A and B are shown apart, each in its own frame.
Chain A
Amino acid sequence: MDEIQNKEQSTSTHKIGIYLWIWGLLFVLSFFSYMVDWFAFQGFLRWTLILIFMFLKAGLIMAFFMHLYWERYALVNVLLWPMTAIAGFIILMAAEAKYTVFTRLLYFFIGG
């Protein structure tokens, strides 16, 4: 990676091929995620496929279109680590949602 980094940095611009490749990949991945709905996959398979295609697309956009792959780690880490707080927030709110739906079912239908 270091060699690529050095080479890219010294020319300050990247070959057009890399952008066209990423562009093509994004189209293919979007097509795949649309196919998930088209074939009406359900349950665990549906959610896994959606998440895989989503993270691949997001990763490609951030790494190459937004040039993070070529940036120094000082910037990359300042940007990516705060996002782990979001993961923590998701876990908290998922637990909270489970509790809310439990109390609603309890009081609306069983009547406490």
Chain B
Amino acid sequence: MSDNSLNNLPGGFKGMSHDMGSDQTAFKGVQWGKVMMWIFLLSDTFIFSCFLISYMKGRTSTVVDWPNTSEVFSLHVGGVPVPLLLIAIMTFVLITSSGTMALAVKYGYEKNRKMCGWLILATAIGGLTFVGMQVFEWSKLIHEGVRPWENPFGAKQFGSFFFMITGFHGTHVSIGVIFLFIYARKVFRGDFDNGKRGFFTTMKSDYVAIEILGLYWHFVDLVWVFIFAFFYLW
């Protein structure tokens, strides 16, 4: 993206056939780590798709009524049940953290160390809030008797899909939060300004690492968009 020589190459599909067409670097202007992260995210997309497709298959093929998620995930505010309240708040928290991450990437490329660091820290705290609310949601459902093999609301398959899908997503969020804290520290310490070498590598640190971290974090938000639509709203 930062390479001015890219402007002299053709764009669009013509550019694609040029880039792919001969013995040369295919992904021009994209740091190798970024390509690797994208390919990892593509494989992760397939894993989450398999979960959601098996959920679709399980829900369609059961002859027992599926639990009404609107009621199952409602919270009582002053004695009145508000449908999906916690899930809605979780969605907004995750989108907020995605926005702060996008801005962190922008300030990173502008070499604004302080802003970048604080925004990554804000993103990490958003992610931590999300995981905290998920823990609350899980414990609430477990108290109500939801298990992977049974639940008091309807079709038995509900529990196993719920714990599997939200659990796998929550694991992704937790791993993301850990990396966000690590990278916030690296940014504040100035690793990306003075090109300090990383712990596992001899290569110099660069703010492109923040964009790669951002890709992962936005992907976590992206998966939640699909889980929210298919599991909670459908």
Contacts and interface: CB of A to CB of B under 8 A. Distances in A.
Interface of A: 1-2, 5-6, 8-10, 12-14, 16, 19-20, 22-23, 26-27, 30, 33-34, 36-38, 40, 46-47, 50-51, 53-54, 57-58, 61-62, 64-67, 70-75, 77-79, 82-83, 86, 89-90, 93-94, 96-98, 100-101, 104-105, 108-109
Contacts of B222: 58, 61-62, 66
Given A23-B99, A72-B16, A101-B60, A12 B2 contact: yes
Interface string B57-73: 10011110000001000
Contact of B103 (A19, A54, A61, A98): A19
Given A62-B222, A65-B102, A66-B222, 9 more contacts: A27-B95, A54-B226, A65-B98, A72-B15, A74-B15, A74-B19, A74-B27, A75-B38, A90-B53
Interface stretch (B6-14, B144-152, B183-191): B6-14
Given A30-B92, A58-B222, A77 B16 contact: yes
Interface residues of B, number: 61
Interface in B110-137: 110
* In the complex, the 9 A-B pairs of residues with the closest C-beta atoms, listed nearest first: A97-B60, A100-B61, A73-B16, A23-B99, A12-B2, A54-B229, A74-B19, A13-B109, A97-B61
B84 interface: yes
Contact of B63 (A34, A79, A105): A105
A9 B6 contact: yes
Contacts of A77: 16
Contacts of A5: 11
Interface in B10-38: 11-13, 15-16, 19-20, 26-30, 35, 38
Given A30-B95, A54-B225, A2 B211 contact: no
Interface stretch (B41-49, B167-175, B192-200): B41-49
Contacts of B63: 101, 104-105, 108-109
B60 A74 contact: no
A13 B103 CA distance: 11
A19 B99 contact: yes
Interface in B84-115: 84, 88, 91-92, 95, 98-99, 101-103, 106, 109-110
A69 B68 CA distance: 38
A105 B219 CA distance: 39
Contact of A66 (B20, B218, B226): B218
B80 interface: no
Nearest to B223: A58
Nearest to B8: A6
B61 A86 contact: no
B92 A27 contact: yes
Nearest to B74: A37
A37 B29 CA distance: 43
Nearest to B60: A97
A27 B92 CA distance: 7
Nearest to B99: A23
